[in-house]
Amino acid sequence: MARIVIAGSGFGGLTAALQLKKRLKNSNHRITVLAKDNQFVYRPSLVLVAFGKKSPKSITFNLETLYAKSGIEFLPTTIESFDVEAKAVNTKTGPVFYDKLIVALGEKLQYEEIPGLREYGYNVCSIEGALALRSALEHFDGGPIVVGWSQFVQTGGPAFEVALELEEWLKRHDLPGSIQFIDPLPKLWAPAGPEATEFLTALFAERKISRMGPVQVKEVKADRVILKDGTELPSKLTILTPPFRGEDAQSSLANGHSRDWLETGKDMRSVHYPDIYVVGSAVAFEGPKQAHTAMLQAETAAHNLSLEVNQSSAPRKEYDHEMSCVLDLGNGQGLFVRRSLWNDQHQVVRTGRRWPMAKSALAYSFVHTPIFKKWGVPMSKINP
């Protein structure tokens, strides 16, 4: 019997656990999930929570109940470190030993790298953050707004949606104000490709959202954002995604990586530790860190790890790095982008009313139906 431990239970950890349970259903291998929270948050919907279009309850579900029904052991605890010699995950409640490990700890929001960001900035990276922004909006009486993401952030979709929601919100409440969008990329949404960049640039111009980039943020104050080149942007409401880095607990596995991300091969196995797989934001791949990429990586890791514990000679699977997302543009319109980042297999940009409806249906299915939570339908089967 193999002891399989999954550290973290976001999109990557949850998918890996359910996929492994399906693949190992006729075996006596033991699957244990460790996570500090027993509530799963469907993070792509946090923008809607911030603007009062969804409640926190509508985008969450209980992990303890889900795992109990799935026959997976779940331990709500804080992960403190990893001991590869002892093959143990050190937690606040004691060590948990493993034969195989999947690290899926997500990202740490590194507020400290930008003075004033925690005190004066808002974001939609958590339920608490979304609710704080909602409260700020309720008291906002107009003025300049700065929106975007800071250096070392590897996701842009939420910031775009916040900017577009804000433009609509200012109109609806008949408030004066300007929206300045900032980001560190050479072109607006560069990873999505030139067609998406051109579309979003034109849309921002139409909605009178100014974009400045590439820039890096030095400091945030109550009434302005200061960039590293000395430029000061007036701001009565600052909404910036903080810098990302790997969680402190995984630093011992990072082998000196500057942001504590963990290096893997395309099979999602660590290049340094053969009994460890990594999925989600913890992975050191360049490019966007999304729920979509985390779930695809988890499928790959679960496939290959199950072959190992079953001592199977079947072909191993390789992950193909791609981004896929829908931006809600308002007025019932949406922008869908699916783009392969290592090859040209998928280069899709589509607009229309079907995409917000598809995004809403996916969110509802994930949280409120058995499609993902019980049946474990892989994301690779969902892509249009």
Residue 381 pLDDT: 65
What is the mean predicted confidence (pLDDT) over 47-75?
Answer: 97
The helix (H) or strand (E) run that includes residue 217 is strand 217-221
pLDDT of residue 229: 98
Fold of 3-106+247-320: FAD/NAD(P)-binding domain (3.50.50)
Please, what is the average pLDDT of the chain? Answer: 95
Residue 253's CB: how many other CB atoms inside 10 A? 23
Domain boundaries, the chain: 3-106+247-320, 111-241
Identity of the amino acid at 368: H
Per-residue model confidence as pLDDT tens digits over 156-167: 899 999 999 999
Q: Which letter does DSSP use for residue 269 in this model?
A: B
At 331 the pLDDT is: 87
- What is the percent of the chain with per-residue pLDDT over 70, rounded to a whole number? 98
Question: Which backbone phi and psi does 127 adopt, to 5 degrees?
Answer: -60, -40
Q: Is 238 exposed, middle or buried (0-12, 13-18, 19+ CB in 10 A)?
A: buried
User: Is the confidence at residue 384, as pLDDT, over 90?
Assistant: no
Q: Do domains 3-106+247-320 and 111-241 have the same CATH topology?
A: yes
Residues in contact with 344: Cβ distance below 8 Å, sequence separation at least 6, in sequence order = none
Average pLDDT over residues 220-227: 98
Q: For residue 165, what pLDDT is reported?
A: 97
Q: Is 112 exposed, middle or buried (0-12, 13-18, 19+ CB in 10 A)?
A: exposed
| E-state strands within 55-142 | 60-62, 73-76, 79-83, 88-91, 94-97, 100-103, 107-109, 121-122
Best CATH choice for the domain 111-241 from the list 3.10.50.40, 3.40.50.10330, 3.40.50.11540, 3.50.50.60 = 3.50.50.60
Question: pLDDT of 94-120, one tens digit each?
Answer: 999 999 999 999 999 999 999 999 999
Is the four-CA dihedral 41, 43, 46, 49 of positive or negative sign?
A: negative
pTM of the model: 0.96
pLDDT one-digit tens code per residue, 175-210: 999 999 999 999 999 999 999 999 999 999 999 999
